[in-house]
Amino acid sequence: MKGAARQAVVGAFVLGGLALGLAAIVLFGKFNFFHPSVRAAIVFQDSIAGLSVGAPVTFRGVRVGAVESIAIEFDPKTYVAFIPVTVALEPGRALVVPVGDGDTVDLADLIQRGLRAELNVQSFVTGQSEIDLDFDPGSPATLHPEATHLPEIPTRQSTLQKATEQLSQLPLRELADNSTATLKSLRALVEKLDQELPPLIDSLKATSDRSEQTVVTAEQAIKALQDRLDTTLAAIGAVAATGNRQLDQRGAELHTLLATSNQTVLQVRDLLGNLQALTSERGQTRANIESTLRDLAAAAASLRGFASDVEHDPQLLLTGRRP
């Protein structure tokens, strides 16, 4: 009886352990009996270095699945290699959500609405990569039905791949040659400056010394000129003061001179008035003067006649003209 009870306890303990292990596998493992995963394929043509089985599949940073398998298919006719990556998506996470009474949005509808996949670096330290999903309706949907029979999510270039492609299109050889030529030019310029700068510095130093001496000389000359200007200004001030005193002294004399000049002008005006009265056509004085002038003209005519007679007969001076 004791042995049977002991075996029953051991059996119960073993069954309990198996039940706990099964529950742990169901709860924490990759089994999902209530929300079965959706399998899809993502076909890459470029390198997927760093991507491995079990790598996360995210939607804007939220994990919605994992990489299930990675294969490679090579077409010997076109020498084109395709890398189909099978992913297991978990609809219960976020990718497929209910939109009505029991209806769900399927993966084909999401792809038609612009769902795209891109390869991103998960960690620059370890070099591991992951697949990130997002909506990009503007990106072309290139499918590869010959590479997989699963629903295919089209791919798009990641930011790193775009940057790599742009860098690959840069004329690196030309840039390198230009950089080398620029470095050579800079080296030649530095060598030339090393040769020419010391004499130039010495010349600048000598010029600076001469300039300093010139400034000192100019300062002394300006100071002497300032002293002379002060003396000149003082002399001009003295002359101005003397002139003011002389003007004050000659003020009375100038006043008297102006009064005398005024009286003289008045007398000259009266004299001009008298002369105007003498020379007036209606004045008596002018008539007398004209009468006198006529008499003088007649007397002069008589004298000319007498002189003519004397010239012909000088005796007339002694005997006179006979009646």
Q: Which residues of 82-96 are buried (b: 16+ CB within 10 A; e: fewer)?
A: bbbbbbbbbbebebb
Residues in the chain: 323
Which of 3-12, 90-99, 212-221, 246-255 is most confident? 212-221
Which of 41-45, 47-51, 310-314 is most confident? 41-45
Query: CA separation (Å) from 136 to 29, 111, 219, 252, 274?
Result: 33, 10, 80, 112, 126
Beta bridge partners of 74: 81
Torsion over CA: 235, 240, 246, 248 (sign)? negative
Q: How far apart are CA 316 and CA 310, in angstroms?
A: 6
CB 93 within 8 A of CB 167: no
User: Helix, strand, or coil here: 191?
Assistant: helix
Task: List pLDDT tens digits, range 59-113.
Answer: 888 888 899 999 988 877 877 888 899 999 887 665 444 544 444 557 788 888 8
Task: List pLDDT tens digits, range 130-182.
Answer: 999 989 888 888 888 888 888 889 988 877 766 666 666 677 778 788 888 88
CB 55 within 8 A of CB 120: no
Q: Got the DSSP string for 49-69?
A: TT--TT-EEEETTEEEEEEEE
Task: List pLDDT tens digits, range 180-232.
Answer: 888 888 888 888 877 877 887 888 888 888 888 888 888 888 888 888 888 88
What confidence category does residue 277 fall into, taking pLDDT thresholds of 50, 70 and 90? low
CB 1 within 8 A of CB 45: no
β-strands 38-44, 62-70: how paired?
Answer: unpaired
Pick from 25, 42, 21: which is nearest to 33 by CA? 25
Dihedrals phi, psi of 88, to nearest 5 degrees: -110, 115
The pLDDT of residue 67 is 93
Q: How far apart are CA 292 and CA 283, in angstroms?
A: 15
Q: Which amino acid is at 40?
A: A
The pLDDT of residue 96 is 46
The pLDDT of residue 56 is 92
- pTM comes to 0.43
Q: Is the pLDDT confidence value at 51 over 80?
A: yes
Q: Got the DSSP string for 202-270?
A: HHHHHHHHHHHHHHHHHHHHHHHHHHHHHHHHHHHHHHHHHHHHHHHHHHHHHHHHHHHHHHHHHHHHH
Q: Is the pLDDT confidence value at 301 over 80?
A: no
How many Cβ atoms are within 10 Å of 66's Cβ, its own excluded? 19
Query: 273 is written with which tokens?
Result: 């008035």
Task: List pLDDT tens digits, range 22-47.
Answer: 666 655 554 454 456 788 999 998 88
Angle CA(94)–CA(96)–CA(97) in degrees, nearest 5? 80
Q: Is the pLDDT confidence value at 125 over 50?
A: yes
The pLDDT of residue 190 is 83
The pLDDT of residue 33 is 46
Q: How far apart are CA 144 and CA 83, in angstroms?
A: 11
